[in-house]
Structure 1
Amino acid sequence: MSTILQVQGMQKYYGSRGVVTKAVDNISFSVEEGEYVGIMGVSGSGKTTLLNCISTIDTVTAGTIRIKGKDVTALKGKELERFRREELGFIFQDFNLLDTLTAYENIALALTILGEKPDEIHRKVLEVATKLNISSILSKFPYQMSGGEKQRTASARAIITNPSLILADEPTGALDSKSARMLLETIGMLNEQMKATILMVTHDAFTASYAKRILFIKDGRIFNEILRGEDTRKEFFGRIIDVVTLLGGDANVVM
């Protein structure tokens, strides 16, 4: 098993000399191929800043971030753009589907940008659509889809380029409980059946309980880490709540 993500001594500061905020304070961890890792923390803990730096949306103040051995903190311009397109997949809270494109076109867009041949694009779209059970809606536009169909389309778009790492930022934040469960089952399927490596940021213990390992962030540092192991998801949820309580969070809020 190879290391997909390696974060070493990462720091991210905001502000000027007079007032400096340490959003991420010397964090180090790694994610192995095929892992499903959750990052939890209360608002302001630094978890979203951490994800933004890993996703190359933001830059680090110090430290390195390596994805498949490549130091992404050193990439710039077109090289960075291409790396992001080829190696990273994204699952957003609000899907970020393009309203003027069909499900098929939304999924195929990344491959089109990469310059793949039409026949190959068609094959890959049909393949991933079959796996996610959305073959029947490929001609629909987002406004014609249910919430669950949008979720699966967004997941198909995230996996279509066979990225090294899928990044999910509060993926259930805007969903009702039924839709949230459907999305989490889909993400779990990407991990279990398609061997996708997933890093998910969430403040929600129920959402986190679908992951296999949880890193807890407090004041920009790693506070604790737990592995699911042989626990059922319900048992893992209980252990997550225990750590959230130690973090000072409100268990009633995150359930």
Structure 2
Amino acid sequence: MATILKVEKIEKYYGNKGNVTKAVDNISFEVEEGELIGIMGPSGSGKTTLLNCIATIDTVTSGHIFIDGEDITSLKSKDIEKFRREKLGFIFQDFNLLDTLTAYENIALALTILREKPSVIDEKVKEVAKKLEILDTLNKFPYQLSGGQKQRVACSRAIVTNPTLILADEPTGALDSKSARMLLEALDNLNKTLNATIAIITHDAFTASYCKRILFVKDGKVFNELIRGTDSRKEFFNKIIEVVTLLGGDSENVL
């Protein structure tokens, strides 16, 4: 199986010599094609900085990140935008939809930027909208949609270009429990049916329990790993809580 993401001894420092903060401290891991992986940790753990480095939004202080075999830490600024557009899909906590565009237009925008033909755009938008059960919302504007519908539109936008890697930053953070469950089941389905490679950044144990593997980040370092294996989602959820408790964390921070 191909390695989609390889993070190799990366570090990210902020500040100057007199006051240096290590947001990411010598982290290494790999993600295989078709994995649904969670990166979990409390606020201030370094998980968002790690995500930003993988997403090419931030640069590393040292180390290397390879996506689909390409070292993104060596890309020139003029090439980063093209790489991000063609290889990465993003799902944000606050949806990041354009209010002046319909759901259809929000999803189609990524394909328009890639200069796809209108007929191809129409086919792809409707295909992903069907998978995420939002066909009947395509002509609506974001203000006419529920939080769950907005996030499924955002999810559709992230996958419509068939990216190499989908990055989801606290994707259920702004959703109620029912909408969160629907979104996570949709991501799980996309992972299984399309073999989509998805990395979810979260502090939430319920969200993490849908993943197949979890890396726990604390103080900028990976301090534990859990693999779901044959466990049910409920059994995996309980193991997540056990890890947080055993390692001295506050379970209230991940629920």
TM-score (ref. length: structure 2): 0.97
2:101 is matched with which residue? 101
- CA deviation after TM superposition for structure 1 residue 76, in Å: 2.3
Task: Measure the CA separation in 2 of the matches of 1:253 and 1:120.
Answer: 44
CA distance in 2, matches of 1:240, 1:48: 19
Task: Tell me, yes or no, if the aligned pair for 2:6 and 2:67 is still in contact at 8 Å.
Answer: yes
Kindly indicate whether the alpha-carbon contact (under 8 Å) linking 2:148 and 2:175 is maintained by their aligned counterparts in 1: no
- Match of residue 223 from structure 2: 223
List aligned pairs for 1:8-47, cutoff 5 A: 8-47=8-47
- The Cα shift of 1:210 comes to 0.6
Equivalent position SS for 1:90: strand
Alpha-carbon distance in structure 1 between the residues aligned to 2:23 and 2:115: 38
Residue type of the alignment partner of 1:78? K
Who is 2:144 aligned against? 144
Name which of structure 1's ranges 179-188 and 161-170 shifts more when overlaid on structure 2: 179-188
CA distance in 1, matches of 2:68, 2:226: 24
SS state at 1:59 partner: coil
Report whether the alignment pairs 1:60 with 2:60.
yes
**What's the secondary structure of 2:194's corresponding residue?**
coil
Worse overlay, 48-57 or 139-148: 139-148
Moved more, 176-185 or 88-97: 176-185
Return the letter of the residue paired with 1:141.
Answer: F
Q: Deviation string for 1:109-136 (max 9, x for gaps)?
A: 0010111111111111111112112111
Q: Identity over the aligned pairs, expressed in percent?
A: 72
- Kindly indicate whether the alpha-carbon contact (under 8 Å) linking 2:148 and 2:179 is maintained by their aligned counterparts in 1: yes
- Structure 2's unaligned 5+ residue stretches are none
> What is the distance in 2 between the residues matched to 1:127 and 1:191?
16
Report the TM-score when normalising by structure 1. Answer: 0.97
Question: Which deviates the most, 109-118 or 59-68?
Answer: 109-118
Q: CA deviation at 1:57?
A: 0.5
SS at 1:129's partner residue?
helix
Partner of 2:162: 162
Contact 1:218 1:247 survives alignment (8 Å) = no
SS in structure 1 of the partner of residue 42 of structure 2: coil
Shift of 1:249: 2.1
Provide the C-alpha distance between the structure 2 equivalents of 1:206 and 1:104, rounded to a whole number of angstroms: 30
User: In 2, distance between residues paired with 1:62 and 1:52?
Assistant: 14
- For the 8 Å contact 1:93–1:171, the answer to whether it is kept is yes
SS in 2 for 1:243: helix
1:13-69 CA deviation, whole Å, 9 max, x = no partner?
111011111111111100000000001112211111100100001000000000000
Of the structure 1 ranges 215-224 and 127-136, higher mean CA displacement relative to structure 2 is found in 127-136
Offset of residue 147 of structure 1:
2.0
Query: How many pairs does the alignment contain?
Result: 255
Cα-to-partner distance string for 1:174-219 (whole Å, 9 max, x where unaligned): 2221121111111111211221101111111111001000001121
Tell me how far 1:9 sits from its aligned partner. Answer: 0.7
